[in-house]
């Protein structure tokens, strides 16, 4: 059933966003840069007006400060000039598509545990921490119907595993994710995200999330039906395939779209999770199977590994990795994820910076890494939890990208 934009998104047509608002963070990061050409160039751009950039991809919206996949988060990313917005797609008990990073993350991204009638439907109810084990819970979109899902309030991602009370567990977001903007912003359905993005003229990159329930779901909802339903909702909304960048970590989803939806598959993005395998050898990306050339031959045009996979350190400098060089040599375009998701970078940057931890000591590495990715690796887009950063960089350094 198609969604009535005016009924379900009453503020949609009131949000005229005539210009891009970058805020103070790009200047903060630029000021931290060591003296040199990059700092000089970016500093000169700080006072220039910015335009929307497709290089700038809103990862779940703008979840550094707004609850992910909420209308507030998406509108913030649009205001920051993101040219592409992401809805991670999963499904509810009544097989309706919604924007959630994982099928079973409602306990950490919404207030479901504070709503007794819905909390009792969770796959795993809240269990308080004890001396022997951490607090646990698991609440899935597939535990509730769409109408119930729409009553929830999105919240900042995170839980307190040491909590003995459910209220403390729910309020356990990392300290560097502010709750200042955590008013009750409803999580969106996939159709609502399409309506919002379409109204503001931004491109869309839905990620078909892996099901955390047995498929076929309820015995009659297959993976293929799930993958097709996601595309069908763009067709029903009259969205051109050129405006959509469908993603998946599952190569079989990509192959399904290549076969059944070739126009939408032209911009399909294979999220390369193979690099998380303990046996992955960063010096020998050619051992990945299927290889980059094979993927290109199948019709894939875009591959997307995490940030750390595309760079390494040589002589104290961040440079393109063997993976980046091999993917480009095979004719693949590259998108990467996710900038501004690591909190403060003073102690090496964590998971997303693991290949360059030895030279990561403060937040200035955000822009230094972004510059290498854009200028040396040649990525066509970067997911960011605070798209103002990527929008600013693209406006200053990649004026053609809009």
pLDDT at 17: 53
Residue-level pLDDT at 226: 98
The whole-chain average pLDDT of the chain stands at: 94
Residue 210 has what DSSP assignment? P
Q: Are strands 381-384 and 53-58 parallel, antiparallel or unpaired?
A: parallel
Question: Quick count: other Cβ atoms within 10 Å of Cβ 32?
Answer: 16
Query: Of all residues in the chain, what percent carry a pLDDT higher than 70?
Result: 95
The Cβ-side half-sphere exposure at 33, using a 13 Å CA radius, reads: 22
Following CA atoms 40, 367, 202, 266 in sequence, which dihedral angle do they give, to the nearest 10 degrees?
A: 120
Q: Is the pLDDT of residue 71 over 70?
A: yes
| Cα angle 36-42-48, degrees, rounded to a multiple of 5 | 155
224: left (phi over 0), alpha (psi -120 to 50) or beta: alpha
User: What are the E-state strand segments in 199-350?
Assistant: 203-208, 247-248, 269-271, 302-304, 311-314, 317-320, 333-339
Determine what percent of the chain is predicted with pLDDT higher than 90: 92
Tell whether the model's pLDDT for residue 15 goes beyond 70: no
The pair of structure tokens assigned to 43 is: 């500093």
Question: How far, in Å, are 161, 292, 298 from residue 247 at the CA level?
Answer: 31, 17, 16
Minimum mean pLDDT among 15-24, 193-202, 367-376: which range? 15-24
Domains of the chain, first to last: 5-100+187-397 (3.20.20.190), 104-179 (no CATH)
List of residues 6+ apart from 277 with CB closer than 8 A: none
CA distances from 296 to 26, 192, 292, 302, 321 (A): 36, 33, 6, 9, 19
Tokens of 58: 């809103």
Element (H or E) spanning 391, and its range? helix 388-397
- pLDDT number for residue 185: 87
- Residue 19: pLDDT band with limits 50, 70, 90: confident
> d(Cα 178, Cα 22) in Å, to the nearest integer?
18
- Structural contact between residues 311 and 372, judged by C-beta atoms closer than 8 angstroms: yes
Q: Is beta strand 302-304 parallel, antiparallel or unpaired with respect to 333-339?
A: parallel
Predicted confidence (pLDDT) at residue 189 exceeds the cutoff of 90: yes
* pTM of this structure: 0.94
- State mean pLDDT over 311-334: 98
CA 20/CA 388 separation, integer angstroms: 9
H/E run at residue 109: helix 106-109
Rounded Cα distance, 372 and 17, in Å: 31
| pLDDT at 121 (0 to 100) | 98
Rg (CA), the chain: 21
Closest CA relative to residue 251, chosen from 272, 280, 227: 272
pLDDT at 4 over 90: no
């Amino acid at each position: 059933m198609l969604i009535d934009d005016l009924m379900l998104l009453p503020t949609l047509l009131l949000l005229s966003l005539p210009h891009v608002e970058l805020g103070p963070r790009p200047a903060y990061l630029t000021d931290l840069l060591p003296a040199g050409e990059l700092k000089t160039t970016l500093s000169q751009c700080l006072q220039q007006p910015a335009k929307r950039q497709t290089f700038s991809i809103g990862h779940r919206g703008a979840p550094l400060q707004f609850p992910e996949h909420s209308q507030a988060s998406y509108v913030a990313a649009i205001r920051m000039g993101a040219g592409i917005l992401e809805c991670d797609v999963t499904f509810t008990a009544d097989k309706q598509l919604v924007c959630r990073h994982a099928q079973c993350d409602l306990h950490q991204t919404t207030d479901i545990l504070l709503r007794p009638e819905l909390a009792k439907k969770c796959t795993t109810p809240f269990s308080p921490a004890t001396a022997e084990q951490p607090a646990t819970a698991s609440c899935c979109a597939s535990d509730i119907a769409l109408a119930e899902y729409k009553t929830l309030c999105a919240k900042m991602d995170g839980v307190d595993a040491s909590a003995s009370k459910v209220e403390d567990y729910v309020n356990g977001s990392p300290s560097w994710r502010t709750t200042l903007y955590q008013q009750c912003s409803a999580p969106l359905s996939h159709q609502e995200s399409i309506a919002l993005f379409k109204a503001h003229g931004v491109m869309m990159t839905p990620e078909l999330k892996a099901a955390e329930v047995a498929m076929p779901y309820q015995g009659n909802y297959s993976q293929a039906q799930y993958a097709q339903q996601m595309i069908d909702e763009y067709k029903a909304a009259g969205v051109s395939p050129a405006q959509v960048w469908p993603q998946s970590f599952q190569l079989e989803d990509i192959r399904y779209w290549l076969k059944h939806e070739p126009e939408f598959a032209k911009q399909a993005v294979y999220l390369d999770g193979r690099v998380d395998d303990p046996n992955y050898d960063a010096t020998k990306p050619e051992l990945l199977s299927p290889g980059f050339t094979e993927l290109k031959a199948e019709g894939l045009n875009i591959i997307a590994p995490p940030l750390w996979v595309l760079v390494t350190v040589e002589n104290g400098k961040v440079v393109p990795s063997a993976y980046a060089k091999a993917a480009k040599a095979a004719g693949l375009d590259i998108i990467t994820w996710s900038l501004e998701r690591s909190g403060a970078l003073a102690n090496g940057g964590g998971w997303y910076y693991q290949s360059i931890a030895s030279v990561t000591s403060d937040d200035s590495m955000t822009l230094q890494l972004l510059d290498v990715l854009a200028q040396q690796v040649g990525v066509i887009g970067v997911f960011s939890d605070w798209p103002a950063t990527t929008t600013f960089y693209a406006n200053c350094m990649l004026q053609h990208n809009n």
